Amino acid sequence: MSPLDWPLHGGRAAPLLARFGLSADTPVLDASANLNPLGPPAWLAGWLAERVAGLADYPDPDYTEARAAIAAHEGITPERVLLTNGGAEAIFLAAALHAGQHPGRPAAIVQPSFAEYARACAAQGLPVVEVPLAPPGFRLDPDAVVAALGEARLLFLCRPNNPTGGLLPRGEMEWLLELTAACDCRVVVDEAFIDFVDDEGGEGQAQEALTPLLARFDHLILLRSLTKRYTLPGLRLGYLLAAPETVEAAASLQPAWSVNGLAAELVAPLLADRDFLDRTRRWLAVERPRLQAGLAGLGLEVVPSRANFFLVRHPEGRVATRRLLPALLRRGVLVRHTESFPGLDGGWLRLALRDSEENDRLLTALAGALADSGGEDAP
Ligand SMILES: Cc1ncc(COP(=O)(O)O)c(C=O)c1O
């Protein structure tokens, strides 16, 4: 299997264990998927068990209660909310909306970023232009945006960005939204990881929130994922926030009952669980700086991250970095390769922030992998 055929997403140990000749039941610490290690909330199992009978009913096709709960949580009206089957469905809906409204016009994607933007554009037959984020800082260069946009009428941007962890500050977002308003280019900001943004002095997340900008910019679409925050990737739950007309147009492209009834009913109790979010913030405040310092202490180059993952590379470059993945897997730790990210080409690894004990295991495994001389190359 060539590295280009490796899994496009984290959380997929089996193909990589097979590729490196390791047994399928090797116990693996998964630092490849960026999920909250505190979840799912402890009450969830009982809650689901009590509602199994509800599976006999169709969900409310308008998801009225879930949308009202999200609207109250975000401080906006329910007409601005569309419930989706994970953030992934929202990405595909945004691409489909664009394809219907601006046939043949390209979409721009800030890269390297989440693979589903390109897949969604390909599914709609959209030409794509890339707006590159250049290493080592991976900052968005305003001139690069202006140069790349051209004929594009849709821009995908991830905030904080997967896999670099950088967050385009709200002030720069406003600049970008003004620029794109002038050229009639819709902006999709995927904030799947926004709940993990460091909360500087308790104000960080509130200051960075883009929700208030929805009232000013009709061409802004915000995407969120509840599956990351509450560790429910198997359940699928996300939402799209936009102008009411955009929500209505996106809803018309969505299959009826796209979100299952249990997931929809779960939205309100999840958002009401303040304790879970408080514990998540406390975990981030301790573990993020600790893991960052540990990684740097091992001599790795670490991209500063506002999210719950770090992009790292070996100081000796691409070949040495690629060797770390199989060396870590042999030590029972799965990390995310970057073979499929444009501009990274396997020269970096993405490591998810886990709980304290697992972060220690990751650091110990890395120390061992770094000490290995040679080893098998990843390709
Ligand atoms: C940036 C980004 N957006 C969206 C998603 C998809 O989220 P969901 O599981 O809610 O579909 C992911 C999943 O990895 C992601 O990394």
Residues 119 and 236 in one domain: yes
Give the distance from CA 309 to its chain's centroid: 10
Tell me the per-residue pLDDT of 106-132, one tens digit each, with 9 for 90 and over. 999 999 999 999 999 999 999 999 999
Domain extent at residue 337: 3-39+276-371
The residue written with tokens 């009834």 in the block is 261
Average pLDDT value for residue range 186-201: 88
Kindly report the CATH number assigned to the domain that includes residue 160: 3.40.640.10
Q: Which ligand 1 atom sits closest to the C-alpha of 162?
A: 1
Angle between helices 244-253 and 86-101 (to 10 degrees): 100
Domain-terminating residue out of 254, 272, 290: 272
Task: State which H helix or E strand residue 364 sits in.
Answer: helix 356-371
Nearest alpha-carbon partner for 117 in 144, 143, 83, 156: 156
CA 192 to ligand 1 centroid distance, Å: 6
Residues 327 and 304 in one domain: yes
Give residue ranges with CB within 6 A of ligand 1. 86-88, 114, 158, 162, 190, 192, 225, 227, 233, 238
Tell me the per-residue pLDDT of 280-298, one tens digit each, with 9 for 90 and over. 999 999 999 999 999 999 9
Average pLDDT value for residue range 209-233: 96
Pick from 70, 92, 113, 114 the residue to mutate for probing ligand 1's pocket: most ligand atoms within 8 Å of its CB. Answer: 114
Angle between helices 356-371 and 318-330 (to 10 degrees): 120
Average pLDDT value for residue range 358-366: 98
Task: Evaluate if residue 198 carries a pLDDT over 80.
Answer: no
CA 35 to ligand 1 centroid distance, Å: 10
Residues 254 and 347 in one domain: no
CA 256 to ligand 1 centroid distance, Å: 21
Tell me the per-residue pLDDT of 247-279, one tens digit each, with 9 for 90 and over. 999 999 999 999 999 999 999 999 999 999 999
Average pLDDT value for residue range 30-39: 95
Which pLDDT score is estimated for 13? 85
Q: Which ligand 1 atom sits closest to the C-alpha of 10?
A: 14
Task: Evaluate if residue 22 carries a pLDDT over 80.
Answer: yes
Residues 267 and 286 in one domain: no
The structure's pTM equals 0.95
Task: Evaluate if residue 376 carries a pLDDT over 60.
Answer: no
Q: Which ligand 1 atom sits closest to the C-alpha of 161?
A: 1
- Band of the pLDDT at 200, cuts 50, 70, 90? low
Distance CA 133, CA 226 (A): 27
For residue 164, being part of any structural domain is answered with yes
Pick from 35, 162, 259 the residue to mutate for probing ligand 1's pocket: most ligand atoms within 8 Å of its CB. Answer: 162
Q: Which ligand 1 atom sits closest to the C-alpha of 91?
A: 4
The three-state secondary structure class of 337 is strand
CA 350 to ligand 1 centroid distance, Å: 15
Both tokens assigned to 342:
């444009």
Q: Which ligand 1 atom sits closest to the C-alpha of 193?
A: 1
Tell me the per-residue pLDDT of 310-329, one tens digit each, with 9 for 90 and over. 999 999 999 999 999 999 99
Residues 264 and 309 in one domain: no
Which pLDDT score is estimated for 4? 65
- Band of the pLDDT at 217, cuts 50, 70, 90? very high
Nearest alpha carbon, ligand 1 atom 3: 192
Mean of the per-residue pLDDT values for the chain? 93
Residues 246 and 112 in one domain: yes
Kindly report the CATH number assigned to the domain that includes residue 296: 3.90.1150.10
Domain-terminating residue out of 256, 272, 288: 272
Average pLDDT value for residue range 178-187: 95
Pick from 158, 189, 225 the residue to mutate for probing ligand 1's pocket: most ligand atoms within 8 Å of its CB. Answer: 225
CA 375 to ligand 1 centroid distance, Å: 33
Q: How many domains does the chain have?
A: 2
Tell me the per-residue pLDDT of 43-93, one tens digit each, with 9 for 90 and over. 999 999 999 999 999 999 999 999 999 999 999 999 999 999 999 999 999
CA 259 to ligand 1 centroid distance, Å: 15
